[in-house]
Chains A and B, each alone.
Chain A
């Protein structure tokens, strides 16, 4: 189905249901779709499983979603930062689940999920705690590999720099990170774009995410900076 352009972030996320698995793009604040996350807080659905590299900062964006008790489980590689107190408190009190995944395995699980690959073997984590209970197999090179499963989600929340009306996306520098692969791995991909241009205005040679992976677009012309919000002492809502 072709892409639809919605007027508000709230409209874009209003179809997200209780108990959904939600991929949220970004690495720290770079590429984090803060406006879409705040709309998801306004929407209020709970019992979510969220996939992100981290677990939020301060009390805005992903951290605010967690603080609002909408997240049952985090799947991430690094839930720690100097300002990740919301997650840490809930985790220590047993109020949120954590599935810790090595960063490359997390990326590959998302890529595989988006490519229709149910599982794959990787050398990452072999011989460590994170491989306990997982199937392993020795291949021709005499190394052991761990079986990991692809991630297929209900929804992806994505931030991009420029989108065209067909849903083709480009990103800004290292704000690309998990966003393109997450676009591929969800039943519904919702994108906030700083700029939306007419079809044909993005050089097809320069498209990073082809529109087939995108379902909904919202124009967010001047996205907030998470660190600025934190510096200003803002917490959401």
Chain B
């Protein structure tokens, strides 16, 4: 496998979401980023319940409303209509971000443009001069949420590294990422750098290394395909 086939290898987006959901404990307060991370909510393992936080003032967010049941005053951070589950609560923005910044949210799952081996995350701006900068709540989430997971394709659409030694894009936070879930593997960010946690079916450690712009260390479980 060379890098050009990497984007088609390993887990599908749904399967990546399933890997993430499987690693989140029952009863966790969870914030899912816009886009791919939202799929995590479709793969909550049987017997577990996650309580979803959305930055615009709702804890206990449910799924998308049925047609005809849309309420424009009930939206998520992506400004899409949502529903609530029993036990939900509404609150203002300062309370919402006290939950985030005060360490009360257990897990957030975010997308990434780049993740560096020291846990630096870049996911808000390409830094291009004509780009409209927009950060939203990303910097607050990575600064305050207890566990920060990143969910992303392993390489960009034009086959450049996303897991790198140093981020070239503007940072969202420094040393904040705990674990990266890609189509090829689950990789922990440790004091030593990237550490392989598990491989997608049919993917080898060597292939992950080839598709990664920084060293990927292996621990005791090296090469074990936990999902074969």
Residues on A close to B: CB < 8 A? 27-31, 53, 77-81, 84, 87-88, 91-92, 98, 100-108, 110-111, 122-130, 171-181, 208, 225, 227
Contact = CB atoms under 8 A, between A and B. Distances in A.
A173 B130 CA distance: 36
Contacts, number: 142
Given A102-B137, A103-B135, A181 B101 contact: no
Query: What range describes how many residues of B lie at the interface?
Result: 35 or more
Given A108-B94, A127-B173, 16 more contacts: A30-B74, A79-B132, A81-B79, A98-B133, A100-B133, A104-B96, A104-B139, A107-B94, A108-B97, A123-B101, A123-B143, A128-B173, A173-B58, A173-B73, A173-B74, A181-B92
B166 interface: no
Nearest to B175: A127
A91 B134 CA distance: 13
Interface in B200-224: none
A102 B134 contact: no
Q: Interface of chain B, helix or strand or loop or mixed?
A: loop
Contacts of A123: 101, 143-144
A79 B56 contact: no
Given A27-B56, A128-B139, A128-B170, A103 B73 contact: no
Interface in B112-151: 120, 125, 130, 132-140, 143-144
Nearest to B55: A103
B88 to A, nearest CB: 10
Contacts of B90: 171, 173-174, 176
Contacts of B130: 92
B69 interface: no
A100 to B, nearest CB: 5
A129 B173 CA distance: 10
20 contacts: A27-B79, A30-B72, A77-B134, A77-B136, A78-B135, A78-B136, A84-B132, A98-B133, A107-B94, A122-B143, A124-B144, A125-B139, A125-B143, A126-B174, A128-B170, A128-B174, A129-B170, A174-B56, A174-B74, A177-B57
B97 A176 contact: no
Contacts of B91: 176
Contact of B92 (A53, A124, A179): A179
Contacts of B134: 77-80, 100
Interface in B65-99: 71-75, 79, 90-94, 96-97
B182 interface: no
A175 B132 CA distance: 26
Given A80-B134, A128-B171, A174-B75, A102 B139 contact: yes
Contacts of B137: 77, 102-104
Contacts of B41: none
Closest 8 CB pairs of A and B: A127-B174, A104-B140, A104-B97, A107-B93, A111-B94, A103-B137, A175-B73, A28-B79
B152 interface: no
Given A79-B132, A178-B93, A124 B101 contact: yes
Interface string B21-62: 000000000000000000000000000000000111110000
A30 B75 contact: yes
Given A27-B56, A28-B75, A130 B92 contact: no
Contacts of A103: 55, 93, 97, 135-137, 140
